[in-house]
Amino acid sequence: MDRQERETQVRRTTMAVVLGVKPRMWPGNFDSPNPTGHLSQADDEGFDMSAFPGISTLVSRAGAATVLTAATVTASMLLPGVAADAQAATPGQAALKVAASKKGSPYQYGAAGPNRFDCSGLTLYSFKKVGKNLPRTAQDQYNRTRHLSAGSRQTGDLVFFHSGSNVYHVGIYAGDNKIWHSPKPGASVRLEKIWSNSVWYGRVN
């Protein structure tokens, strides 16, 4: 296979990866393989790259070893919303997934995982798993975070329950006025509605 033929195949493969479709009868690959790998009988198959101005030139310069990279770049051009969503993920949202994965783990005072937790132990463990270090207690975690109004809260933010100026409990905001938390002795990690108006919000940066 010469260079031009290889680059043509790279373009088609890239578009298949981006758009999530199976190419039609590409030589040497699929339903009717062509052992020689030549494209002489497949010129009219695959994708019309002229429909995507600028992308054909970009992909044609990529070798076979960089197909995945080219596909990622192309995806960001064709599907900017998807790329933006991926880039928008925060440490808090990643920590939220960790906390949710611990559903059913029993409460134990002073425990910070991996199988038992108290409230601040769960938040400490979840953020540590995504590369963020928090202090041990709920009060100290509140002092460490960037404080927010209820209107500015997002999934992954910490929710601090307080009595006066004293913070006594913490969970991770999951949206829909709910938190993942480790509630109390005899209970386990669970998703639960926020039950009090005496809450503060903090974000881990």
DSSP 127-168: HHTTT----SSHHHHHHHSEEE-GGG--TT-EEEEEETTEEE
Given a contact cutoff of 8 angstroms between Cβ atoms, the answer to whether 132 and 143 are in contact is no
Which segments of the chain does DSSP mark as H helices, in order?
3-19, 55-60, 67-78, 80-88, 91-101, 119-128, 138-144
> Among 204, 195, 203, which residue's Cα sits nearest to residue 177?
195
Which is the catalytic residue, given 38, 119, 147, 162?
119
Rounded Cα distance between 204 and 192, Å, is 21
The values of phi and psi at residue 169, to 5°, are -160, 155
162 annotated active-site:
no
41: left (phi over 0), alpha (psi -120 to 50) or beta: alpha
Which is the catalytic residue, given 38, 147, 162, 181?
181
66: left (phi over 0), alpha (psi -120 to 50) or beta: alpha
169 annotated active-site:
yes
38 annotated active-site:
no
Rounded Cα distance between 3 and 25, Å, is 20
Active site residues: 119, 169, 181
